[in-house]
Amino acid sequence: MYTSKIIGLGKYVPDNVVTNDDLSKMMDTNDEWIQERTGIKERRWAEKSKGETTTTMGVKAAKIAIERAGIDKDEIDFIVFATLSPDYYFPGPGVFVQEALDIKTVGAIDIRNQCSGFIYALSVADNFIKAGMYKNILVIGAELHSYGLDKTTRGRGISVIFGDGAGAVVLSRSENDKGILSTHLHSQGKYADELVLKAPGMGNRWVSDIVADNDPDDVSYYPYMNGQFVFKNAVVRFSEVINEGLHSNNLSVSDINMLIPHQANLRISQFIQRKFKLNDSQVYNNIQRYGNTTAASIPIALTEAWEEGKISEGDLVVLAAFGSGFTWGSSIIRW
């Protein structure tokens, strides 16, 4: 059986930097309040005037990843795009990437698993390659939150957290023992309403209902999060799924060279770091600069860690995520 290996990485974040002080001019909040609860100092928000969308950001990250992979775009034979913020309700952004990159008519699939979306996308791509179906798969995680946030005091618990951006990797067939060793995926739908965006949706309130009511107090089309409950579940599931990945490969915590957790909240990452007794050089965080970019957070952080020389050949790299659904997962990689 083949293995799959990351051969190219890329990221894109908008130029527009939004600091905590900037947010304090929009809502009742301040830098100290935000940093204490999330660790975030600033985030990037897309600019409509520049025509930035989830797809355009994903395409920019993908171009960098393909160039660094050293392959021609037409050697890509499948596309996996993870996002909770597609340009359209349908079709998803995968097909728009195929068109924008002028790649031949390969398959494209969209993954809607929110914060754990990139781990799920990586797992799908990994298994396609291991099965021998594809050779080079473009995997993208991209999010545009800022256009859909409640930027008033009412929505500050959510809007201060999220940022925009995209990350991408090219996953390629390999026949040695390096690459993705395993991926591990889980869900627990009983807690779906604890981190949710209910409208528009066929099973809840569709656009026609919202337009007909024209109710300024209807918050169903803004994201909701039970922050403390999510935090308590996240720290448990992060630990479980990291250990699951290590144990399945007969590895231990001491083998970890780099842990890149989903950038949901710096306090969650710090909790996991303390629990596993990892030092600062073994955990990569960039939420301070970008906020929570959901499906984009891991590929952005992975790309930056690699660019900064924090990941070397032969290193054991662990990726882990937890989020809406609840869904969570991990990937164990021998670089």
DSSP annotation of 292: B
What pLDDT shows up at residue 325?
87
Residue 292 catalytic?
A: yes
Work out the pLDDT band at 278, boundaries 50, 70, 90: very high
194-220: string of b/e by CB count within 10 Å (b at 16+)? Answer: bbbbeebeeeebeeeeeeeeeeeeeeb
What is the CB-side half-sphere exposure of residue 276 using CA atoms within 13 A? 29
Query: In this predicted model, which residue has the larger pLDDT, 191 or 53?
Result: 53
- Average pLDDT of the segment spanning 115-121: 97
Average pLDDT taken over every residue of the chain? 93
115 is catalytic: yes
With vertex at residue 29, the alpha carbon angle to CA 23 and CA 30, rounded to the nearest 5 degrees, is 80
pLDDT tens-digit readout, 132-148: 999 999 999 999 999 98
Q: For the chain, what are the domain ranges?
A: 3-176, 181-190+226-334
Asked whether the beta carbons of 124 and 83 are under 8 A apart, the reply is no
pLDDT of residue 201: 64
Candidate list 262, 265, 285, 286, residue with the active-site label: 262
What is the 3 state secondary structure string of 70-117?
CCCHHHCCEEEEECCCCCCCCCCHHHHHHHHCCCCCCEEEEECCHHHH
Widest CA span in the chain: 59
Averaged over 27-50, what is the pLDDT? 95
Taking the CA atoms of 286, 92, 220 and 226 in sequence, report the sign of the dihedral they define.
Answer: negative
Tell whether the model's pLDDT for residue 298 goes beyond 70. Answer: yes
* CB neighbourhood size of 88 (10 A): 12
- Give the model's pLDDT for residue 135: 97
pLDDT in tens, 183-214: 999 999 998 888 888 766 656 555 556 656 67
Do 3-176 and 181-190+226-334 agree at the fold level? yes
User: For 248-275, what is each residue's pLDDT tens digit?
Assistant: 999 999 999 999 999 999 999 999 999 9
Task: Say whether pLDDT at 246 is over 90.
Answer: yes
Rounded CA separation 75/210 (Å): 44
Looking at residue 31, its amino acid is: D
What is the tens place of the pLDDT at every residue in 149-181?
Answer: 999 999 899 999 999 999 999 999 998 889 999
Domain 181-190+226-334, classified CATH 3.40.47.10, yes or no? yes
Which of 306, 241, 309 has its CA nearest to residue 276? 241
Main-chain phi, psi angles of 41, to 5 degrees? -105, -35
Burial of 70 (0-12, 13-18, 19+ CB in 10 A): exposed
Percent residues over pLDDT 90 in the chain: 83
Instruction: Give the pLDDT mean for 302-323.
Output: 97
CA distances 153 to 50, 146, 183, 187, 230, Å, are 27, 15, 40, 32, 21
pLDDT mean over 70-84 = 97
Tell me what percent of the residues of the chain surpass a pLDDT of 70.
94
Write the burial class of residue 149 (CB in 10 Å: 0-12 exposed, 13-18 middle, 19+ buried). Answer: middle
Q: Give the active site residue among 20, 113, 286, 292.
A: 292
What's the pLDDT at 196? Answer: 85
Q: Hey, which CATH number is domain 3-176, 3.30.300.30, 1.25.60.10, 3.40.47.10, 3.30.420.40?
A: 3.40.47.10
Q: Are 136 and 76 in contact (CB under 8 A)?
A: yes
Catalytic-role residue among 115, 136, 265, 285: 115
Pairwise CA distance, residues 66 & 171, whole Å: 10
For β-strands 78-82 and 42-44, DSSP reports them as unpaired
